[in-house]
Structure 1
Amino acid sequence: MTEFLSTLSTLLVALLLLAGGGFMILAAVGILRLPDLPTRMHASTKAGALGASLTMLAVAFYLPEGAIVARALAVIVFILLTAPVAAHVIGRAGYFVGVPLWEGTVKDELKKHYDPESHGLESGFEGPPGETGTEPRRD
């Protein structure tokens, strides 16, 4: 029975490593092949985060000590929390400095709210009386 569980554990680790590596390769191909910054950021965060998380799960199954499993899970949580935020910030900065969108882009949600002169965004915020929320932010 112990031999069966060992084989099953080894198989699970191998599958997790292959899947993680596959997703990381997909992220790399997406970065190389996709046409503009927002779609590249999407590929790198989604597939890259999933690939790294699957790899860390493989580490946790391969070395099932409490401290290692806790660190692997902490790394997964850290990746899942920080990768989307970092991609959003980089994508927003790229938009603000004028990195062009792909010609096939159908919808640009920020265009009507963004002032390229002041680099300010209008918000839909309804503030106190006298403030409409349509003035560009100055901070």
Structure 2
Amino acid sequence: MTPRRIALVAAALLATVLLGSWLYRSDEELVRAAADAIVEGANQGPLELTRALEEHATDRVTITVSDLPEPLVGRAAIVAAASRTATMGRKLSFRLQHVEVSVEGGHARLNAELVATLQLGLRGFSSARSGVGLFEKLDGRFRLTSAEVGGER
């Protein structure tokens, strides 16, 4: 092999490694992307939330909110709760802040501050709460199995 061919092979190998590492997403990034997709779906409406939950949550996903008497169990219950807020003439939107993800094998934990903003006409009221989401890797994808949202900070 000539020096030029060796240099070309080395450059191709380096390019392949760089491209692979750029395209490969870590488990932490996959968990964050799943959480972001669910939050974005909730902000867009019931149909989008349903799609996001089907893709990024288990069938029996459970969300426990400190202000609610009972947890929301299942995708349909979560979508119904989100829809009730919209039908009462209020626009509720969410965002995640200060997100930390830890992964151990097929399980992941996401700690974040969940900021909910309620729009009433021209006025908006925001509330920050601590939240924990538990994810499980199923069929190569991380899916939300449960979440707990604490009281206001």
> What is the TM-score of this pair, normalised by structure 1?
0.29
> What is the TM-score of this pair, normalised by structure 2?
0.27
Q: Which of the pair has more CA radius of gyration?
A: 1
Higher helix share: 1
